[in-house]
Amino acid sequence: MEAAAPNLKNQATSIRVRFAPSPTGPLHVGGVRTALFSWLFARKYGGTFVLRIEDTDKERSEKRYDDELLQGLAWLGLDWDEGPQPIGVGGQLALDGVSEKGEFGPYRQSERTAIYKKYLTQLIESGDAYYCYCSKEDIEAQRQAMLSQGLPPKYNGHCRNTPAPEGKTPEVIRFKVPEVKVEFKDLVRGKVVFDAALFGDIIIAKDLDTPLYNFAVVVDDALMQISHVIRAEDHLSNTPKQILMGRALGFAEPIYAHIPLILNADRSKMSKRFSDTALLSYRERGYVPEAMINFLALLGWHPRGDKEILSREELIAEFDIDRVQQSGAVFNEEKLDWLNREHIKAMPIAEVAALAAPFFAKQSIVVRDEALLERVIAVQIARAKTLEDLAAASAFFFAVPEYEPKLLIWKDSSTLKEVAEVLSAARVVVNGIAAEDFNRETLTACLPLIVGERSRGVVLWPLRVAVSGHANSPDPIEIMSVIGKDESLHRIDAAIKKAKVL
Query: Which residues carry out catalysis?
Result: 272
Residue 185 CB burial class (10 angstroms; 0-12, 13-18, ≥19):
middle
Cα 146–152–155 angle (5° rounding)? 65
Q: What is the DSSP string of 392-432?
A: HHHGGGTSPPP--GGGGSSTTSS-HHHHHHHHHHHHHHHHT
> How does 344-359 read in b/e, with b if 16+ C-beta sit within 10 Å?
beebeeeebbebbbeb
Q: How far is CA 149 from CA 18, 157, 210, in A?
A: 43, 17, 34
Cα 158–164–170 angle (5° rounding)? 85
Q: How far apart are CA 74 and CA 89, in angstroms?
A: 7
Q: How far apart are CA 110 and CA 306, in angstroms?
A: 45
* CA torsion through residues 471, 474, 477, 483, sign: negative
Q: How far apart are CA 202 and CA 433, in angstroms?
A: 83
Ramachandran region of residue 365, left (φ > 0), alpha (ψ -120 to 50) or beta? beta
Query: Closest Cα to residue 112, out of 214, 223, 16?
Result: 223
